[in-house]
């Protein structure tokens, strides 16, 4: 059996047929009940925390109105969407082990070598705050001085990325097993990918025109309550506007079988620094007149950049200082430092007990 999706005909596998059936029944996957689960499967403290931030009181009736709780077989059960967003860790991982966001920073333009990676713990809601932190520590800043004031330019557009991340979480097809939301940072681009093709009847032209079709109705309601998705159908235009306003290239949008991907490209100012092989990030605590010896062509993570900045400022620090400042294990700190030595950015001078690190470019 083949179905028409956008401008192509595709053979309908079990996942497509199941979504087609739900579409005919006017139900989304996240509205369906988890048959055996009651409100006890929810992390009520997390539910209350999320809605307290929005200034709302939450109770069982409110959860029913949001379809976090749904009627089933004469009793109230947790919906798939409710469990994905607010389920206790053990129950959610049992039913939806792939409902998570994974981030990776790769050394080059492909996936052959990792520099940093993380699976965001807990609910996919945690990724809305955690993913930007990961991006900040694995991307570069360009600095411009205008009217005696310093302006830092992130490598990628913060607001547009947040918009795409929220959309990826809200529009992902959680019925697909073995697929999760992926954020990949490469030497020349950043990709945000979620499971799920475009909804039936939707094309890229529709998205660009502002046409919207909700895949996950429970998540849509919760996200609106949280102020994350206020104007359905305007996400594409907000992303393009944010990129244009910040001077970033417009991203590419790709449908890849049962996945959807948005590709961001670096700000031209960062590329200019890269071509000149000059530093891209001078921390506020370091005067502009102090040269930073981290070439943009050599990728380093946020911890390594901080370590080198301390050396440039004349401090003699070791792995224990790096571990204490970043709250990481000394093993991880030593691995970061060893990587800097391999890249030829630092060297150790003197005896093992009394020696110290210094930048190779000093």
Q: What is the CATH number of the domain that holds 329?
A: 1.10.10.10
280 domain-assigned: no
304 domain-assigned: yes
* Residue 159 sits in the same domain as residue 263: yes
Q: Which residues contact 258 (CB under 8 A, 6 or more apart)?
A: 15, 173, 176, 179, 195, 196, 197
86 domain-assigned: yes
- Rounded CA gap, 194 and 184, in Å? 12
Q: Are 307 and 317 in contact (CB under 8 A)?
A: yes
Half-sphere exposure of 38 (CA within 13 A, CB side): 3
Q: What pLDDT does residue 144 have?
A: 73
* Residue 171 sits in the same domain as residue 84: no
Q: Are 286 and 130 in contact (CB under 8 A)?
A: no
The residue-averaged pLDDT of 139-151 equals: 76
Q: Are 78 and 274 in contact (CB under 8 A)?
A: no
Give, for 253, the enclosing helix (H) or strand (E): strand 252-256
pLDDT single digits (tens) 3-47: 555 555 666 666 666 676 676 667 899 999 998 899 999 999 999
Last residue of a domain, one of 62, 78, 95: 95
pLDDT single digits (tens) 206-250: 888 888 888 899 999 999 998 887 655 578 889 999 999 999 999
Q: What is the CATH number of the domain that holds 226?
A: 3.30.565.60
282 domain-assigned: no
DSSP sequence for 167-189: HHHHH--TTSTT--EEEEE-SS-
pLDDT single digits (tens) 176-199: 989 999 999 999 999 999 999 887
Q: Which residue has the higher pLDDT, 308 or 12?
A: 308
276 domain-assigned: no
Give, for 243, the enclosing helix (H) or strand (E): helix 235-246
Q: Which residue has the higher pLDDT, 258 or 260?
A: 260
| Residue matched to tokens 């530093």 | 279
Q: Are 124 and 99 in contact (CB under 8 A)?
A: yes
Last residue of a domain, one of 95, 114, 143: 95
* Residue 55 sits in the same domain as residue 70: yes
Percent above pLDDT 70 for the chain:
83
Please state, as a whole number, how many other Cβ atoms lie within 10 Å of the Cβ of residue 4.
Answer: 10
* Residue 112 sits in the same domain as residue 184: yes
CA distances from 102 to 76, 124, 182, 184 (A): 32, 10, 5, 8
pLDDT at 292 over 50: no
46 domain-assigned: yes
* Residue 105 sits in the same domain as residue 253: yes
* Residue 79 sits in the same domain as residue 194: no
Give, for 133, the enclosing helix (H) or strand (E): helix 127-137
Q: How many domains does the chain have?
A: 3
* Residue 65 sits in the same domain as residue 167: no
- What single DSSP character describes residue 271? H
Instruction: Provide the residue range defining the domain that includes 81.
Output: 11-95
* Residue 107 sits in the same domain as residue 89: no
pLDDT single digits (tens) 86-117: 999 999 999 999 999 999 999 889 999 999 99
Q: Which residue has the higher pLDDT, 125 or 285?
A: 125
Q: Which residue has the higher pLDDT, 344 or 3?
A: 344
DSSP sequence for 64-115: HHTTSEEEETTEEEEEHHHHHHHB-HHHHHHH-TT-SEEEEEESSSSSS-EE
pLDDT at 345 over 90: no
286 domain-assigned: no
Q: What is the mean pLDDT of the chain?
A: 84
Q: Which residue has the higher pLDDT, 355 or 106?
A: 106
* Residue 105 sits in the same domain as residue 91: no
Q: What pLDDT does residue 261 have?
A: 96
* Residue 110 sits in the same domain as residue 204: yes
Q: What pLDDT does residue 310 have?
A: 84
- CA 234 vs. chain centroid, Å, equals 20
Confidence of residue 270 (pLDDT cuts 50, 70, 90): confident
* Residue 209 sits in the same domain as residue 122: yes
Q: With left for phi above 0 and alpha for psi between -120 and 50, is residue 154 left, alpha or beta? A: beta
pLDDT at 285 over 50: no
Global pTM reads 0.72
Q: What pLDDT does residue 308 have?
A: 86
- Rounded CA gap, 193 and 198, in Å? 12
277 domain-assigned: no
Last residue of a domain, one of 249, 268, 287: 268
* Residue 173 sits in the same domain as residue 217: yes
Find the range with the poorest average confidence among 115-124, 224-233, 351-360: 224-233
Q: What pLDDT does residue 280 have?
A: 38
């Amino acid at each position: 059996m083949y179905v028409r999706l956008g401008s192509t005909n595709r053979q309908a596998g079990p996942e497509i047929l199941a979504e087609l059936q739900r579409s005919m029944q006017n139900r989304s996957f996240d509205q369906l009940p988890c048959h055996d689960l009651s409100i006890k499967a929810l992390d009520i403290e997390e539910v209350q925390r999320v809605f307290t931030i929005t200034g709302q009181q939450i109770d069982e009736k409110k959860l029913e109105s949001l379809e976090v709780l749904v009627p089933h077989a004469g009793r109230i059960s947790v919906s798939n969407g409710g469990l994905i967003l607010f389920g206790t860790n053990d129950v959610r991982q049992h039913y939806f082990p792939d409902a998570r966001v994974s981030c990776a920073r790769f050394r080059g333009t492909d996936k052959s070598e990792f520099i940093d990676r993380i699976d965001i713990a807990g609910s996919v809601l945690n990724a809305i705050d955690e993913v930007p932190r990961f991006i900040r520590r694995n991307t570069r800043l360009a600095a411009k001085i205008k009217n005696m004031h310093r302006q830092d330019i992130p490598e990628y557009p913060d607001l547009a990325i947040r918009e795409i991340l929220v959309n990826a979480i809200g529009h992902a097809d959680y019925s697909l097993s073995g697929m999760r939301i992926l954020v990949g940072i490469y030497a020349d681009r950043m990709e945000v990918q979620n499971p799920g093709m475009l909804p039936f009847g939707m094309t890229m032209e529709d998205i660009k025109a502002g046409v919207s079709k909700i895949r996950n109705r429970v998540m849509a309601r919760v996200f609106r309550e949280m102020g994350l998705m206020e104007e359905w159908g305007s996400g594409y235009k907000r992303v393009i506007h944010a990129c244009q306003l910040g001077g970033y290239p417009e991203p590419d949008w790709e449908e890849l079988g049962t996945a959807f991907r948005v590709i961001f490209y670096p700000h031209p100012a960062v590329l200019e620094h890269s071509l000149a092989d000059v530093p891209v990030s001078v921390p506020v605590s370091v005067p502009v007149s102090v040269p930073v010896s981290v070439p943009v062509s050599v990728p380093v993570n946020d911890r390594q950049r901080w370590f080198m900045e301390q050396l440039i400022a004349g401090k003699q620090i070791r792995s224990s200082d790096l571990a204490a400042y970043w709250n990481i294990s000394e093993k991880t700190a030593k691995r970061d430092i060893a990587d800097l030595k391999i890249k030829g950015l630092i060297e150790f001078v003197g005896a093992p007990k009394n020696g110290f690190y210094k930048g190779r470019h000093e």
